[in-house]
Amino acid sequence: MVNIKFVKENKEIDAAYGANLRFKAQENNIDIYTFMGKLTQCGGYGQCGTCVVDIVEGASNLSPRTAVEDRMLKKRPSSCRLACQTIVNGPISVVTKPDKKESLKKAKAEAAAKQAAEAAATQAKSEQASEEPASTVAE
Ligand code: FES
């Protein structure tokens, strides 16, 4: 059994290892859809992108992001998932209906941090290359 905590709803549920997050939320009367999401949701087939949740704890206990999620969640931080595409393999804490503006800010900060890390790695490589002694030609 795994524990799923829904932060906004202040509700904890137990689920079987390998449970689908959307299914467990609905089974326990946790509303994961916004008003528009209720009208346009695809029923859990990964087609609409309306079942977005933010995993605030235990993200490593989930199945990896699917290609559908990568495509639909481009403007969301890596902590966001589509509940219908997410399999739970350990304890997690979930925020339902995460704020779009906050998500966008978080995603931009994440991208900036990634870019800075890549720049630092590139600089370190070039510094290391310039410190290496030039090869000498044997006479
Ligand atoms: S319910 Fe449509 S993508 Fe999850």
Give the span between the Cα atoms of 27 and 6, in whole angstroms: 13
Is the C-beta atom of 82 inside 6 A of ligand 1? Answer: yes
Q: Are 19 and 61 in contact (CB under 8 A)?
A: no
Report helix, strand or coil for 31.
coil
Which pLDDT tens digit goes with each residue over 55-76? 999 999 999 999 999 999 999 9
Could you tell me the distance, in angstroms and rounded to a whole number, from the CA of residue 37 to the centre of ligand 1? Answer: 9
Judging by DSSP bridges, how do beta strands 80-82 and 52-57 pair with one another? antiparallel
Nearest ligand 1 atom, CA 45 = 2
Nearest ligand 1 atom, CA 83 = 4
Q: Which of 47, 48, 13, 42 is nearest to 30 (CA)?
A: 13
Give the span between the Cα atoms of 45 and 91, in whole angstroms: 24
The residue to mutate among 32, 42, 72, 86, having the most atoms of ligand 1 within 8 angstroms of its beta carbon, is 42
Q: Are 96 and 119 in contact (CB under 8 A)?
A: no
Which pLDDT tens digit goes with each residue over 69-124? 999 999 999 999 999 999 999 999 999 999 988 888 888 898 899 899 999 998 88
What are the E-state strand segments in 16-119?
19-20, 52-57, 80-82, 87-88, 92-96
Report helix, strand or coil for 107.
helix
